Amino acid sequence: MRGTTVLPGGRANGSEPERGGLPIHRLEVPRPNALPFAIGSFDTIGPMSRASFPHRHTFHEIVYVTGGTGSHVVDLSRFTLRPPHLCFLAPGQVHYWDQVRDLEGCVILFTDDFLLDNPRDQETLRRLGRRSWLKLSAEEAARVHRLVADLDHEYRTGAEGFQGVLQALLHVLVVRAARLLDPERDARGGAAPARPAAVAADFLALMDTAGTPLWSVRECAARLGVSVSHLNEVVKTAMGRTPGELLRQARVHEAKRLLLRTELTVRQVAGRVGFTDPAYFCRFFRRETGTSPGDFRRGGGDIHHDHRLPSIARNRPSA
């Protein structure tokens, strides 16, 4: 897994030029040679972890800030550094660090694929991303510090079963952070108020609805009471991707989860993610993932290999 930055108008892996005038930072995961997860300091993760120019990510980022001065700008909100902080960035959010000095802390990066065992965490992380910046009390910081230290230890040592431990610890961190988003805390200034992107937020909520998610952009627009063009505009502006792209990603993610975690047949999985024709579902899945549903299931999703991020592992000092 390695990071790449695609500048405005540039190309990534032969794709169409990026639009929107902002650099796009990606995590490339050449399966099965890497785990879609990384953790490290600002130094070991690399210069993009503290970039001073506005850019978007295609992955989730959690930043635990323990030192430094300056400010962090997320979408339209500016947050002054008064550590300790916990920051959540969802895929597509625009952010940068402004006039920051002596920045210290830990950065956690992962893709949606790493959340297969806890799919509801996707919605929670996007909700946290809409608040983004949490000021921690001494007691809260101590709990976060222990969790982050455990994550870092598991990642560095790579002992047997480390992926499951990483997923469990990440889930605990996300759940505990979500508990901090209460109205009384907001009134005390602990968390920033939600930014005015209600339509985009409601679209994400529809997409993450348990049981009966909507898989059609037209259906989502109708449910939200807006036109398809308006939905496309606000979601693209807020998330850096169109509703159709996000729905395809969610559809693939849910199909992967069902293939790996249930005994449902491919036909049944197809129905669960909105396909009436299993053959069309298979073509869709292969186009999006490069493999068939059956091969993905038989291979365990390529998630059982001990492959950490080489570029980070090489930069770590030996124990």
Report DSSP letters for 186-246, one per residue. HHHTSBPPPPS-HHHHHHHHHHT-SSS----HHHHHHHHTS-HHHHHHHHHHHHSS-HHHH
pTM (2 d.p.): 0.62
Backbone torsions φ then ψ of 160, nearest 5 degrees = -55, 130
Is 271 exposed, middle or buried, given 0-12, 13-18 or 19+ CB atoms closer than 10 A?
Answer: middle
In sequence order, which residues have a C-beta less than 8 Å from that of residue 215 and are 6 or more positions away? 247, 250, 251, 273, 274
- CA-to-CA distance for 66 and 86, rounded, in angstroms? 9
- CA-to-CA distance for 272 and 258, rounded, in angstroms? 9
- CA-to-CA distance for 126 and 239, rounded, in angstroms? 10
194 CA to centre of own chain: 18
How many CB atoms within 10 Å of residue 316? 14
How many CB atoms within 10 Å of residue 170? 24
Q: Which value, to the nearest 10 degrees, does the dihedral of the CA atoms of residues 133, 175, 242, 73 take?
A: 10
Q: Residue 214: name the closest of 173, 222, 235 by CA.
A: 222
- CA-to-CA distance for 308 and 33, rounded, in angstroms? 8
- CA-to-CA distance for 236 and 230, rounded, in angstroms? 10
pLDDT digit string, tens, across residues 22-55:
555 554 444 444 688 999 999 988 888 899 988 8
- CA-to-CA distance for 309 and 107, rounded, in angstroms? 14
Measuring CA to CA, how many Å separate 114 from each of 11, 166, 171, 186, 254? 26, 9, 11, 30, 12
pLDDT digit string, tens, across residues 221-275:
887 777 888 888 888 887 778 889 888 888 898 899 889 888 899 999 999 888 9
Contact 34, 309 (CB under 8 A): yes
In sequence order, which residues have a C-beta less than 8 Å from that of residue 303 and are 6 or more positions away? 35, 113, 116, 163, 260
Domains of the chain: 2-194 (2.60.120.280), 198-300 (1.10.10.60)
Query: Exposure pattern of 50-60 as b/e (b: 16+ CB <10 Å)?
Result: beeeebbbbbb
Backbone torsions φ then ψ of 262, nearest 5 degrees = -130, 170
Measuring CA to CA, how many Å separate 193 from each of 130, 189, 203? 8, 9, 19
SS3 248: helix
DSSP 51-84: -SS-EEESSEEEEEEEEEEEEEEETTEEEE--SS
| Residue 144 identity | V
Per-residue pLDDT of the chain (319 residues; tens, 9 = 90+): 344 433 333 333 333 334 444 555 554 444 444 688 999 999 988 888 899 988 888 889 999 999 999 999 887 688 999 999 999 998 878 889 999 999 999 999 998 888 877 778 888 888 888 777 899 999 999 999 999 999 999 999 989 999 999 999 999 999 999 888 754 444 444 444 434 356 777 777 677 654 456 778 888 888 777 788 888 888 888 777 888 988 888 889 889 988 988 889 999 999 988 899 999 999 999 999 999 999 999 887 554 333 333 433 334 333 3
In sequence order, which residues have a C-beta less than 8 Å from that of residue 313 and are 6 or more positions away? none
Rg (CA), the chain: 19
